[in-house]
Structures are given as structure tokens and as C-alpha cells.
């Protein structure tokens, strides 16, 4: 077991882990942060997407031990985030989820897209979200929601 310290959603936490533990397992099993979903556990589905030091990453592809000293943000940490609030509302209005399993990863990735590529069109969103798998195949509404959220945020910052 190895000690690690992580700034988790803004709060410093210290824990002990095995080197082979992924960040995803650390978040879910040790910290009980279960918004981060595990679909494929080998980097193919994107459901477990979180931020490490502000960068989107798949928590199933990061070893928790490598995150020692890092800042980790999960979906739970975006409760008061303005972009996430807008995305949540548009996901609701566009019916951008069915079973909801992929939604945490979709939201975290969508927020990253809107930060890097403000007011993206549907084509851009489609390419940028292509690493996130929705097994209900409700992609059209997810893309609509991200485009609508981007437009609203873009308009607000133009004003």
C-alpha cells in the first residue's frame, strides 16, 4: 500500500492505495464518488472521464498512484460550475439521455469541448465527442444539447 494525497473536488484527501489501482477504482471504491461510471475499463467508452490537473482524462487509464499531488475533479465537483449548469439544463431540455450511464462522461467531455472550442457547430461536437460511447445510441440529442449550451454561453459572453 502507498500513501497518496489528492486534491479531490477542491478538498485535500489522503489515502492509501495499491499501485495497480486505477483512478476510477480509487474514486468509486475508496472515495464513494460514484458519478464516475465504469463502462469498458480499457479506455474505449469514455464513461469514466474526469479532470486531472484541469485536463480531461479517462480515469480507467490513470493509475491513482500517478495522481499523487494532483488535483482531480469529478462530476460531483461541478455542481456550481456555470458551464456545467448550462449543459445540465440543455441535456434535460433536449432529452440528451436515456439510461444515463454515459452521461457523466458526456458532461465532463462536453464541458472541456466548450472551453477549448467555444460555440462549436454540430460537426465539431460530433468529432470531439466521438470517443464517448452511448449504448442507447441517443447521440443526436446529446449533440443538440452541447451545441445549444455552447450557443447560449457564447451569446452570453458576446453581450
Partner 1 sequence: MKSAKFDYVVAKTVADAAASLASAGTSPSIVAGGQSLVPMLNLRVAVADVLVDISGIEELKTNRLTATGMTIGALTTHAAIEDGKIPDPFDGLLRKVASGISYRSIRNYGTVGGSVALADPAADWPVCFMALGADVCVSDGAVARSQPITEFIEGQYRTSLRKNEIVIGLDIPRSDAPPRWGLHKVVRKSGAFADSIAIAVQHGGDKTACIALGGAVPRPLLLATTAQRLGRGDTSEDALRAAIAQDLRASTVQADSYLIRLHSATVVRAIRELRNS
Q: Which residues bind partner 1 (CB under 8 A)?
A: 2, 18-20, 22, 25, 41-43, 46, 49, 52, 55-58, 60-63, 65-66, 109, 112, 116, 127-128, 130-131
Q: How far is CA 96 from the centre of its chain?
A: 15
CB 88, min distance to partner 1, A: 20
CB 57, min distance to partner 1, A: 5
Query: Which one, 57 or 103, has the nearer CB to partner 1?
Result: 57
Query: Which one, 137 or 159, has the nearer CB to partner 1?
Result: 137
Q: Which residues are paired to 3 by β-bridges?
A: 16
Query: Which one, 61 or 140, has the nearer CB to partner 1?
Result: 61
Which contacts qualify for 119-125: CB closer than 8 Å, 24 or more apart? 119/150, 119/151, 119/153, 119/154, 120/146, 120/147, 120/150, 121/147, 122/147, 125/150
Give, for 8, the enclosing helix (H) or strand (E): strand 2-8
Query: Which one, 29 or 93, has the nearer CB to partner 1?
Result: 29
Specify the residue for cell string 479506455. 43
In this structure, are residues 96 and 89 in contact, taking their beta carbons and an 8 Å threshold?
Answer: no
Query: Which one, 44 or 156, has the nearer CB to partner 1?
Result: 44
CB 125, min distance to partner 1, A: 12
The rounded distance, in Å, linking the Cα atoms of 15 and 17 is 7
CB 93, min distance to partner 1, A: 26
- The beta strands (E) that lie in 43-158 are given as 49-52, 55-58, 71-73
CB 159, min distance to partner 1, A: 28
Amino acid at each position: 500500500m502507498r500513501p497518496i494525497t489528492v486534491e479531490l473536488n477542491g478538498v485535500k484527501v489522503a489515502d492509501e492505495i495499491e499501485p495497480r489501482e486505477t483512478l476510477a477504482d480509487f474514486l468509486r471504491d475508496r472515495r464513494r464518488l460514484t458519478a464516475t461510471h465504469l463502462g469498458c475499463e480499457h479506455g474505449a467508452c469514455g464513461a469514466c472521464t474526469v479532470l486531472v490537473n484541469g485536463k480531461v482524462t479517462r480515469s480507467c487509464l490513470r493509475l491513482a498512484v500517478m495522481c499523487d499531488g494532483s488535483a482531480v475533479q469529478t462530476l460531483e465537483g461541478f455542481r456550481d460550475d456555470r458551464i456545467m449548469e448550462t449543459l445540465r439544463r440543455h441535456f434535460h431540455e433536449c432529452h440528451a439521455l436515456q439510461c444515463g450511464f454515459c452521461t457523466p462522461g458526456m458532461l465532463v467531455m462536453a464541458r472541456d469541448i466548450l472551453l477549448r472550442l467555444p460555440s462549436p457547430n454540430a460537426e465539431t461536437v460530433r468529432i470531439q465527442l466521438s470517443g464517448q460511447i452511448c449504448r442507447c445510441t441517443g447521440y443526436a440529442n446529446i449533440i443538440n444539447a452541447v451545441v445549444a449550451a455552447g450557443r447560449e454561453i457564447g451569446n452570453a459572453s458576446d453581450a
